[in-house]
Amino acid sequence: MAEKRAKKTTIIEVARLAGVSTATAGRVLGGYGYASQDIREKVRAAAESLGYRPNALARGLITGQTQTIGVVAGDVESPFYASILRGIADVARSKGFGLVVTNSDEIFQREREAVELLVEKQVDGLIVTPSDLASARYLESVIASGCPVVQIDRVVQELAADAVTVDSTNAARNCVAHLIRAGHRRIAMIAELERSDVGDVRSFLDRTSFSATPPVSLYPSWQRLLGYLQAHREAGLPVDPALVRRVGSYSAVAAKEETIDLLSGRPAPTALFTADGLMSAGVMDAVSALRLDIPGDISLACFDDLDWMRFVRPGITAIEQPLNEMGRAAARLVLARIGGESGPPQHLVLPARLSLRNSVRELAEAV
């Protein structure tokens, strides 16, 4: 037979042992209202001796805060989100806040359900990675209810909420420019490009002025495609549409298949640029399956600097996103709003760093 759960100590018992009223004990243990130093010490000593654990929900009803931040991540198993969550947790913990983390799987309906659940749990603020930049306007009602929202990695169009993103366009442009300076003229791009409000890849490539496209209105992989195009334009090089491969999903398997098809064609590219870590994994699998040598047969540069890229031989040239700092910045923003800070929404755009290793071969045309 299952053991009976131990009886939970009540605040009434704590108050009785400390020789104070229940209301006074509640103020001390809840961290609100006034009590003398002597009374505070008596109540805390009584609570410790009885093993009392405060009721966070009850305290929240009194103070209006639960000391929790809700986080909706796209995929908590991804190293991308793991590093961001660590940054959020470190800052939140230092301020006495806990996290309630949920996963959307990049599915809009799950994201919305997760946000609704967190709001019902009365979190003090939300940090969200929106999966749909056009449809996530439901967050307006969350903000109007008094719950601060900070967007991370992506920005919903015209949503009056703080945001933290990475300068993906300039990072991609600098990386592709590095390949061009090394003499590469046929540079392929492997990207999921899953969602888009700008049409298909061909129509995006056919735009007359890429510089007029505001990166903040695009999903990250499209921002990186924009940087790829800008690097070619600045170098006076044409873009072969056949070299831009749209995988269509966050899938390493699909990226592998697309890369094999690309590298099996003629003329083949001399360099590959990948838009994120999953695309990079698929590309590496394809290169291995085709028994190609990096950088002898094909040069490679990746967006997202994953651990394995430092350890393989040769090391992979990659763009390192400041993921931990993104999380820390998002936590600081939401905590400031919880603390009563007002003012217009802030959008922090953090720079990414290009780590040069040995996966890019210089060709005779190097400039």
User: Where do the structural domains in the chain lie, given as residue ranges?
Assistant: 11-63, 68-166+323-350, 168-321
Residues 6+ apart with CB under 8 A from 245: 188, 189, 190, 191, 258, 259, 261, 262
What pLDDT digit, counting tens, does each position of 298-329 carry?
999 999 999 889 989 899 999 999 999 999 99
Block means of pLDDT (10 residues each) for the chain, length 367 residues?
Answer: 55 84 79 79 84 62 73 88 94 94 91 92 94 84 93 91 96 98 97 77 71 76 94 94 92 95 93 95 96 96 93 93 97 96 95 96 74
Q: Is residue 131 within 8 Å of residue 109, measured between CB atoms?
A: no
Q: How far apart are CA 33 and CA 119, in angstroms?
A: 26
pLDDT digits (tens, 9 = 90+) for 212-245: 667 877 899 999 999 999 999 999 999 999 999 9
**CA atoms of 354 and 367, how far apart (whole Å):** 19
Q: What is the pLDDT of residue 196?
A: 66
Helix (H, G, I), strand (E, B), or coil: what is residue 309?
helix
Superfamily of domain 11-63: lambda repressor-like DNA-binding domains (1.10.260.40)
What residues does 71 pair with on adjacent strands?
101, 127
* CATH number of this structure's domain 68-166+323-350, picked from the four choices 3.90.420.10, 1.10.260.40, 1.10.3210.50, 3.40.50.2300: 3.40.50.2300
The half-sphere exposure of 297 on its side-chain side, counting CA atoms within 13 A, is 11
Per CATH, 68-166+323-350 and 168-321 having the same topology is answered yes
Q: Distance of CA 281 to CAs 31, 42, 252, 324, Å?
A: 50, 59, 6, 22
Closest CA to 190 of 109, 40, 303: 303
**Is the CATH number 3.40.50.2300 carried by domain 168-321?**
yes
- Nearest alpha-carbon partner for 319 in 280, 361, 355: 355
How far apart are alpha carbons 12 and 225 in whole angstroms?
63
317 contacts 353 by C-beta, under 8 angstroms = no
- Residue at token pair 């820390």: 328
pLDDT of residue 57: 52
**CA-based Rg of the chain, rounded to a whole angstrom?**
26
For the segment 85-118, what is each residue's pLDDT rounded down to a tens digit? 999 999 999 999 999 999 998 889 999 999 999 9
- Rounded CA-CA distance 69/67 in Å is 7
Q: Which single residue is written with the structure tokens 């400031």?
A: 336
CA distance between the termini of the chain:
78
pLDDT score of 5: 44
Q: Which residues in 53-77 are b (16+ Cβ under 10 Å) and which e?
A: eeeeeebbeeeebbbbbbbbbbbbe
